[in-house]
Structure 1
């Protein structure tokens, strides 16, 4: 981006976000406000120069979440796994809360931080690793679409009501669109493209009871062993990914007041879980709570 383009970007960011959030407070020791949109949580954060350091948690499981820092004012540097990424106003950077990281702010700053489960973007692990190695613009292209969505969602956060979860799902798709280009070429880029195609097919056919590893392989004209090799370095196999996405769909529907007229069994069957005992075990293992607890309280559990 040229210097004039960068200045236009900063002015656009100030107009888009500043008018919405500068009334959040101006205390010198930092301010924070946030809103939850189903699986996606957004925070407006500001403060004075500081270093925020996350170290490995002792005696407890680390949070399984990714965070996307969208820099509004000031500059920041996020360092993870020994690799620093410098973030200017109008840029954003992705980092993984499962691993230690430092966030450095050298002067007065403000940013929006989006937090979401690690597997929520439906992007191959290699694409996520590449995305974490550089800053991304939210002044142009898919990033600008994401920025407009975030600004509007935060402004309307008190009035979205039962639509919050669906807005969060939309936001995750926009994040994936903004980060889902690796900039690679050659065989690895081809493999990433194949993985994206497979994951997209799975998302579109989650409610199909015949959706299995072998079915996905056949649709994509691959041998089952070839599909297994394609995902052998990913955190989940195809079968695990299908189960995880179906559980997420059940969780979302159980927490949705608009679907409260459907029984738990009916919701589960929509996503191909026909055994109540199997559902309860799998759901409890993933979220730490039972399906009935989510239906009763809307509790998100822990993923």
Structure 2
């Protein structure tokens, strides 16, 4: 996006998403929840459309804005809140990798659904890496580091049947109750996080034409859902569509009709 100097005011949007604005030209100030983040070119800011915000854009300006699910970052909530209160560079380091990736993805507008899904997953990892330079400001750095490690461990072992709250606690030499307290103010418990990530993994598999030989039941079992009926209910509650709908859509996009 780009334009002349202006002030953008947005009302809350209950969409469960976050936005990351990368300022390419001009200067900008993002104001939200009593905090102001001043941006110069090659700096980016994270903000939450679920809360009202203003963006003051000075001079001629251009912005690249990435919108993504809040849960997709897999970062502790304290970490995300801190990230919203400061600028993040994209002139070098992880931010530069993210900016290059986003610019390249924008040029490939004809990507099919499967490829776009995979790129989106890679983009979320790059966003998390680019925000990793967030400076602790409230004494919670140690706990947030522990939470990040726990979430990473869970992601690496999602396909394993014995991945449970207690196993994760044991991996970090914690009592199960200690791990529960570590996440008591987070949006999801460890058990909920594992379940949601398994649903996301199943959705990616169902959307991948290369895995179309796997039945929905096999995809569900692959991600430790022993009952297809339970999997279908959980999937529909999470994504608003049945697993079969995702599978049919992926096959349709992989085999376009003649003349399309």
Relative to the length of structure 2, the TM-score reads 0.91
Aligned positions of 1:134-145 closer than 5 A: 134-145=86-97
| 1:180 CA drift (Å) | 2.1
Aligned pair count reads 250
Q: Which residue of 1 aligns with 2:166?
A: 214
Q: Which residue of 2 aligns with 1:234?
A: 186
Q: Pick from 35, 50, 53 the counterpart of residue 6 of structure 2.
A: 50
Q: Pick from 50, 62, 65 the counterpart of residue 113 of structure 1.
A: 65
**Could you tell me how far apart the structure 1 residues matched to 2:218 and 2:3 are?**
48
| 1:269 CA drift (Å) | 1.1
The alpha-carbon distance between structure 1 residues 232 and 261, as it changes in their structure 2 partners (threshold 3 A), is same
**Could you tell me how far apart the structure 1 residues matched to 2:194 and 2:128 are?**
18
| 1:157 CA drift (Å) | 3.6
Q: 1:128 and 2:84 equivalent?
A: no
Q: Pick from 230, 234, 247 the counterpart of residue 295 of structure 1.
A: 247
Could you tell me which runs of 5 or more consecutive residues in structure 2 were left unpaired when the two chains were aligned: 251-260
CA-atom RMSD in angstroms? 1.7
Q: Is the 8 A contact 1:162 1:258 kept in 2?
A: no
Q: Is the 8 A contact 1:182 1:189 kept in 2?
A: no
**Could you tell me how far apart the structure 2 residues matched to 1:177 and 1:130 are?**
15
Q: Which residue of 1 aligns with 2:255?
A: none
Q: Pick from 94, 107, 113 the counterpart of residue 155 of structure 1.
A: 107
The alpha-carbon distance between structure 1 residues 229 and 161, as it changes in their structure 2 partners (threshold 3 A), is closer
Relative to the length of structure 1, the TM-score reads 0.78
The alpha-carbon distance between structure 1 residues 173 and 85, as it changes in their structure 2 partners (threshold 3 A), is same
Q: Is the 8 A contact 1:71 1:112 kept in 2?
A: yes
The alpha-carbon distance between structure 1 residues 54 and 185, as it changes in their structure 2 partners (threshold 3 A), is closer
Could you tell me which runs of 5 or more consecutive residues in structure 1 were left unpaired when the two chains were aligned: 1-44, 299-303
What secondary structure, in the 3-state scheme, does the structure 2 residue paired with 1:184 have?
coil
Task: Pick which of 211-220 and 253-262 moved more.
Answer: 253-262
Q: 1:73 and 2:29 equivalent?
A: no
